[in-house]
Structure 1
Amino acid sequence: MNSLPINTRIRGLSGLKKTLPCLMIASALAFGATAQAATVAAGQNHVMSAAVPTEVATGQAAPVGSMAQAQTLKLALVLPLRDEAGLDALLAQIQNPQSPNYRHYLSPEEFTSRFGATQQDYDAVVAWAKSNGLTVTQTVPNRHVVDVQGSVATINRAMHVQIGNYRHPTQNRNFFAPDREPTLDLPVPLLDIKGLTNVNPPHNHLLHGDNVQHMNAIARTHGSGPSGEYLPSDMRAAYYGSGALTGAGQTVGIFSYDGYKSADVTLYYTKTGMHSTVSITNVLVNGYSGVCDAGDGSGTSTCDDGEQVLDIVNVIGMAPGLSKVVFYEGDSATDILNRMASDNTAKVISSSWGGGDFGASDDAIYKQFAAQGQTFLNATGDYGAYNASTWDAPSLDPNILDVGGTDLTTSGPNGSWTSETGWSGSSGGYYKASKDNIPAYQKLSGVITSTNKGSTTLRNDPDVSAEANFDNPTVSNGKFETGYGGTSFAAPRWAGLLALANQQAASNGKSPVGFVNTQIYNLGLGAGHTSQFHDITSGSNPPQEGSGSGFKAVAGFDLVTGWGSPQGAALINALTQ
């Protein structure tokens, strides 16, 4: 049959131009895509995604030879949701306090029954993979992903492509990618195929400040750590205070593209004088062996785990009585996210990563999170206002809570909040190439103004923020280090706070707060917003890479700090009404 390939251009983060395969769901109009007509062989089904990076499609990346035909690749075949319009209508009811379905969440089994691919379609994808010589490595209960692996030669034949090596036009490295969009002799549609290119490597949102940045940061810092740096206990004191909530009975999930050493977590507590009895469970997704230590936290190999350690200790620092932290690690964002949704164990999930195979197709999983009462928090990044060099998925997805960065001052070690400004590295703004239209909660009167200069047609970031300056320690590969910053710190701090909110909700006989964006924006517009948020009105985030203009923190919502940082007890009370 004739079909329409969809090519969507996306740029990367960390000051590097990158291109992600950005999927289009069944209706390309849902993401504002432009279809380009092409003819494929009769009987072939074109995947509803763009697998060819812009660098390849435009000829910017020079080919440097074919990929070894015997080399094995791992792919994730992603199926579309069923009745997505019905799901969107249900989510609107779940988030509406006036609806009888308000916070009446689905189980993973109920979600799959109503909105997952049919068993017949799922079985057809599995059968197609096997008949084309691919090894099925994992099937999943929500019928959203079929994981396969096979040689490059097998994949080329099955998908009618030629995967080759290319020289990146702006980075000193090669990458692999297909030369055309894949077409499959498959009777059912696929939403996406993850793993056909590594043009955009995964990266975290953690930065080590230089000496000047570090000294400037600690000059205004009054924390409990070395040189007055902030420890997780300082964040709990500043953003929550001395209340009784500890996160008891709650589980927080952490997303990671890499493993960690349990000895490094122990070293953090030893060096800071802190301690924790919270259980940490490691979940290795789809056969991931753990780069650092085979995933069990006990390895001795070299391990760049500063991000992973700070995620763990900052979530626990905000909610020291958690029942459990579940640390999910793998090499595919889609696989990790889908496992989190299928498990439905963690009602709050924190991620400080971007790039890799994150893409627009993951929005289907974020919607499952929302339907199940799970909150997914994402660090927006550390390179200022979004542009072609400073934005990367999953930021700007409308179904996640995006967290920016601030520069905090407290009254002293474990002291109260004193003042806060927007951190210059806090990534935010909007980006046309993301294809994410403005969500309903940002269309509310008073959110986007001439003062904050937000977009009236595109999704704006961040939603909220927390401390992220270069005044934080972490441990990496057996070494305690200071002078770190980044929105990597802000996301787990908010995750810990939402675990406190879920504890309070449970004690009141209520459901978890779930997807909180709609409620947060309504609170921000309400008369009590200055008692629920620290409204940050100074600071800016000029882009530090590439072109474009930055934004300023202003009264109310802005594109540096969102609605601001949490005033813990008051905000928790409002969220759990």
Structure 2
Amino acid sequence: MRKTLALSVALVAMSAAAVPATAAPSGRSVIPQSHPQWAQPQSKVADSPAGDRLSFRVYLAPRDQQGAEATAQAVSDPDSPSYRQYLTPAQVLARYAPTSGAVKQVSDWLAGGGFSVGEVPANNAYVEATGTIDQTQRAFGVHLGKYKVQGKTLRASDTDLSVPASVSSVVAGVIGVDNAMSLMTPKHVGGRDEINAAQSQSLAAPTAVPPPAGFRNAPPCSSFWAEKTDITDPVFNGQHLPYAPCGYKPGQLRSAYGLDGLATHGIDGRGVTVGIVDAFASPTLFADAAEYAKRNDPAHPLRPSQFRQFVYPPTPGQEDPDVCDAAGWYGEQSLDVEAVHAMAPGANIFYVGGADCQDLSLDKALNRIIARHEADIVSNSYGNTGEDIPADEVGIFERIAIHAAIEGIGVYFSSGDNGDESFRLPQPSPDFSASSPWVTAVGGTSLGIGRDGRKVVETGWETDRSVLADGTWGAPTYLYGSGGSTSRLFAEPFYQRGVVPDALARQNQTGNARGRVVPDISMVGDPNTGMLIGITQTFPEGAHYDQYRIGGTSLSSPLLAGEVAVADQLRGFHHGFINPVLYKFTSHTFAVTDVKHVDSGVVRVDYKNGLDPSGGFNTTARVFDTSELTIHTTRGYDNVTGLGAPNGSFFLALI
């Protein structure tokens, strides 16, 4: 029997529709929940200078949002007669996108308010505008100030935005008036992140930012799992632990996930385009990735014909040194490109860099790919801390993701690197955008790859660290791990019913509600068993290319995107939004390895200065899959690893 259309999304419905017609006393209509919860009077530090300039985007109300959701489910659900009957961008524009009349109506209103009207994308999703703080305050009926949040000073309004009643029927939301989405951060862990010495840079222009501070792996480390064991330090919990791998190379990762033999026979993702979205762009991104492949995977070079990029120019006057760390995104970019190419060395890569992270240029970059169908798969290795996102911004993202599903584009998001966020937030939470029911949330594992390229150890990535000092191991403390939990924003999607345990779906809920649980599936993410990457860095002797180990679910997402690119080529069709297939066909089968708890760990050695032995060493024990959180690795589906990890040819055959 065909499943009924039953994907309910809490809070999003109200923001997906046009602004309600209820007028404020001034004859205006309020955009509900468009004021960030963190912008409270007690956290305000200053008014925003009236003459400062900013850019924002007014998103337009779509046509037939319910019909769009129904179509997205129908083309993604294997029980539907419309399965894989994707629409073209032109068909989406004609059926579901805002009209040209709505674009003109909003453009005229903005121009009348003194704004410079900018880009309108191919799918009419928004109208971009630039003006002063004073003009913006008058246009939206608010006062803008600067607020302290999570160690940053960010701009926000003092109340919900409003618009004149004359345009309220065609306005769905506004992004960029506040800085809420600059809390999006790259989800990688490694390098100087480990020693808390990251180099912070403000952004004048992407090419003006020097490469990130140099980092090198310290010896001893292993080229494969347990090649070297720490027998010089005291035993840890009664055993001598192996030294951490130096960083897995492409051939090892393909072998562990059952793809290396296929790649040697030309089943390597060719004919498929994988999109990558990040903030900014390293000026050496392609050169570094090509050098990395040459050194570590010479049989599979990254050719210029396989790579292209589009980078939005920075917005003048938008950047604040307190907001973005441009160089901090460079490692993310290199990791994403090199991980996709490692798994799918024949695939094309399209990198799109956002102008900044302050006004959610990331959604603009993602929307570009979807509106033009410039990629078949999109990997996104960033996310918000938790789900404290204005409802209109959530709704805007949901429409982008739904249109991607309608067009047969798979959108993948890293699930996060801080477990259930309970060490950083008042209550456990998954991270947005991974919590969206229209994306595939990719969690992380700790993975040991043996000498023969096979998996030796695999368990959930939740890491405790114990520091060796004066010959004694210190008490273990939680460090990082795969993001997961149950959403308070989104109801349980149809594809998780009957697979996700009821106890997990009911976590973080009230009454009889059931929520969307994160993640969906996992690949290696633990930086202690991470991937070796290459990137140009700034060393005392100058800037040059070098390599180090890195991880995070920022590694997991592009690895899975690469594996699905191989599946696209092998099966001869684009998988699109893959979650319904994952839950229907791979749960409780050999297609996905059920990741279980394993008592294991490694000893990791780092240079104290990140560069050389002159400053001494830090030696730490890293214990896998610890249990301090509300999320745990268990048999079957769990909220650390989801359904589990892809299992080679079985996975490719069943999806």
Are the counterparts in 1 of residues 521 and 642 from structure 2 also a CA contact under 8 Å? yes
Q: How does 1:16-31 map to 2 (within 5 A)?
A: 25=12, 27=14
Q: For the residues of structure 2 that align with 1:93 and 1:145, how far apart are their CA atoms?
A: 26
- Work out whether residues 165 and 175 of structure 1, in 8 Å CA contact, stay in contact via their aligned partners in 2: yes
1:154 aligns with 2:135: yes
Distance 2:327 2:74 in 1: 49
8 Å contact kept, 2:518–2:642: yes
**Structure 2 counterpart of 1:327, which letter?**
Y
Q: Which residue of 1 aligns with 2:574?
A: 512
C-alpha spacing 1:56/1:97, structure 2 compared with 1 (3 Å): closer
Distance 2:134 2:582 in 1: 50
**Amino acid paired to 1:407:** S
Greater shift, 132-141 or 388-397, is seen at 388-397
Task: Report the identity percentage.
Answer: 24
How far is the alpha carbon of 1:350 from its aligned partner?
Answer: 0.3
Flag the 1:25–1:264 CA change in 2: closer, same or farther, 3 A.
Answer: same
Instruction: Tell me how far apart the structure 2 counterparts of residues 441 and 128 of structure 1 sit (CA, whole Å).
Output: 42
- The equivalent position to 1:255 in structure 2, one of 277, 285, 292, is 277
Greater shift in the superposed pair: 514-523 or 241-250:
241-250
Q: Equivalent residue for 2:36?
A: 53
- Encode CA deviations 1:504-553: one digit per residue, 9 max, x unaligned: 232xxxx3111110110012345xx1x20111011586698xxxx42221
Q: Distance in 1 between matches of 2:279 and 2:257?
A: 28
- Please state how far the C-alpha of 1:561 moved relative to its aligned partner: 0.4
Residue 435 of structure 2 corresponds to which residue in structure 1? 396
Equivalent positions of 1:216-227 (< 5 A) are: 221=225
Structure 1, unmatched stretches of 5+, are 1-21, 292-300
Find the aligned partners of 2:148 and 2:71 in 1 and give their Cα distance.
46
Distance 1:436 1:451, change over 3 A: closer
Match of 1:498 among 564, 568, 573: 564
Aligned pair 1:284/2:364, yes or no? no
Q: Distance in 1 between the 2:22 and 2:68 partners? A: 32
Q: Where in structure 1 do 4 or more consecutive aligned residues deviate above 4 Å?
A: 22-26, 213-220, 286-289, 301-304, 449-456, 539-544
Q: Does 1:316 align with 2:341?
A: yes
Aligned twin of 1:551: 631
CA distance in 2 between counterparts of 1:370 and 1:174 reads 36
Post-superposition offset of 1:360: 4.1
Match of 1:203 in 2: 185
Unmatched 5+ residue regions in structure 2? 1-8, 196-216, 228-243, 319-325, 463-480, 538-543, 599-623
Q: Which amino acid aligns with 1:341?
A: I
Q: Whose radius of gyration is greater, 1 or 2?
A: 2
What's the counterpart of residue 84 of structure 1?
Answer: 65
The offset of 1:334, in angstroms, is 2.2
Matches of 1:400 and 1:60, distance apart in 2: 36
1:489 aligns with 2:518: no
Within 2, Cα distance between the matches of 1:44 and 1:360?
21
Structure 1 SS opposite 2:548: strand
TM-score normalised per structure 1: 0.82
Task: Give the Cα separation in 1 of the matches to 2:569 and 2:90.
Answer: 24
Whole-angstrom distance in 1 between the partners of 2:490 and 2:384: 17
Matched, 1:361 2:427: no
| CA pair 132-92 structure 1, distance change in 2 beyond 3 A | same
1:35-66 per-position Cα deviation (integer Å, ceiling 9, x unaligned): 9x996234322224x33222324x331332x2
Deviation at 1:150, TM superposition (A): 0.8
Whole-angstrom distance in 2 between the partners of 1:220 and 1:454:
39
Q: Deviations over 1:120-175 (max 9, x none)?
A: 2222111111111111110112111111111111111111111122333x52x422
Q: Does residue 235 in structure 1 map to residue 248 in structure 2? A: no
> What is the number of residues matched between the two proteins?
518
Q: Relative to structure 1, is the Cα distance of residues 60 and 521 closer, same or farther in structure 2, using a 3 angstrom cutoff? A: farther
Residue deviations 1:457-512 (CA, integer Å, cap 9, x gap): 11101100001122322225345242422111000000001101111232xxxx31
* Per-residue CA distance 1:404-458 (angstroms, 9 max, x = gap): 0001122326x123331111001111142xx111111111x24214589867611
Q: How many angstroms apart in 2 are the aligned matches of 1:82 and 1:532?
A: 39
Distance 1:402 1:476 in 2: 30
In structure 1, the residue matched to 2:364 is 335
Contact kept? 1:423, 1:468, Cα under 8 Å: yes
Picking from 503, 522, 532, the partner of 1:465 is: 522
**Aligned with 1:78: secondary structure?**
strand
Deviation per CA, 1:40-97: give whole Å up to 9, x if none: 234322224x33222324x331332x22222111101112321111122222321233
Question: Are the structure 2 counterparts of residues 137 and 452 from structure 1 closer, same or farther at C-alpha, using a change threshold of 3 Å?
Answer: closer
SS at match of 2:406: helix
- Preserved CA contact (<8 Å) 2:485 2:518: yes
Contact 1:541 1:551 in 2 (8 A): no
Cα deviation per residue 1:327-355 (whole Å; 9 max; x = unaligned)? 01113122112101112021110010123
Mapped partners of 1:78, 1:384: distance in 2: 32
Q: Quick one: which amino acid aligns to residue 27 of structure 1? A: M
Aligned counterparts of 1:373 and 1:55: Cα–Cα separation in 2: 36
**Corresponding residue number in structure 2 for 1:419:** 457
Query: CA–CA distance in 1 between the matches of 2:536 and 2:329?
Result: 6
**Structure 1 216/513 Cα, relative in aligned 2: closer, same or farther at 3 Å?**
farther
For residues 346 and 397 of structure 1, do their structure 2 counterparts lie closer, same or farther at Cα, with a shift above 3 Å needed? same
Preserved CA contact (<8 Å) 1:44 1:183: yes
The CA deviation at 1:288 is 6.5
Indicate which of 593, 606, 631 corresponds to 1:534. 593
Normalised TM-score (structure 2): 0.72
User: Which amino acid is 1:328 matched to?
Assistant: V
Partner residue in 1 for 2:477:
none
Q: Residues 88 and 210 of structure 1: is their aligned pair in 2 closer, same or farther, counting only changes over 3 Å?
A: closer
1:261-314 CA distances to partner (integer Å, 9 max, x unpaired)?
23332443355354322621111247669x9xxxxxxxxx96751110010011
Which structure has more strand as a fraction of its residues?
2
